[in-house]
Amino acid sequence: MKRIFIVLLIFILSLFTACAKPKQSKVSVEPQAVQETAPVPAPLDPKIEKLNRVLMSMTDRCKEAIPNGDPNEFLADLEKVLQIEKAFPSDDLSLYYLIDKTHKVSADYEPTHLRKLVQNNDYIINKSTLALREDAADALAEMGRAAKRDGITLDVSSTYRSYETQERTFNYWVSVDGLEEAERESARPGTSQHQLGAAVDFGNIEDSYALTDGCKWLNAHSQEYGWSLSFPQGYEDITGYRWECWHFRYIGIEACKFQKKWFSDIQQFMFEFIDAWKNMD
Residues in the site for Zn ion, rule: CB under 5 A? 201, 247
Distance, CA of 29 to CA of 31 (rounded, Å): 6
For residue 202, list its beta bridge partners.
156
Q: Which is nearer to Zn ion, 54 or 196 (CB)?
A: 196
Distance, CA of 251 to CA of 136 (rounded, Å): 8
Directed axis angle between helix 253-262 and helix 267-279, to 10°? 100
Residue nearest to Zn ion (CB): 247
Q: Which is nearer to Zn ion, 115 or 194 (CB)?
A: 194
Q: Which is nearer to Zn ion, 7 or 125 (CB)?
A: 125
Q: Which is nearer to Zn ion, 115 or 247 (CB)?
A: 247
Distance, CA of 250 to CA of 82 (rounded, Å): 16
What is each CA distance from 163 to 92, 99, 105, 236, 249, in whole angstroms? 16, 13, 9, 23, 18
Q: How far is the CB of 263 from Zn ion (least distance, A)?
A: 21
- Cβ-in-10-Å burial (0-12, 13-18, 19+) of 204 comes to middle
Q: How far is the CB of 265 from Zn ion (least distance, A)?
A: 18
Question: Cβ–Cβ contacts within 10 Å for residue 225, how many?
Answer: 21
Question: Cβ–Cβ contacts within 10 Å for residue 221, how many?
Answer: 15
Q: How far is the CB of 201 from Zn ion (least distance, A)?
A: 4
Q: Which is nearer to Zn ion, 48 or 187 (CB)?
A: 187
Q: Which is nearer to Zn ion, 187 or 255 (CB)?
A: 187
Q: How far is the CB of 114 from Zn ion (least distance, A)?
A: 17
**E strands present in 129-171:** 131-133, 155-158
Q: Which is nearer to Zn ion, 202 or 258 (CB)?
A: 202
CA quadruple 120, 126, 128, 129: dihedral sign: negative
Q: Which is nearer to Zn ion, 92 or 201 (CB)?
A: 201
CA dihedral 165, 169, 172, 173 (to 10 degrees): -170
Distance, CA of 250 to CA of 225 (rounded, Å): 8
Q: How far is the CB of 157 from Zn ion (least distance, A)?
A: 9
Q: Which of 1, 4, 2 is nearest to 63 (CA)?
A: 4
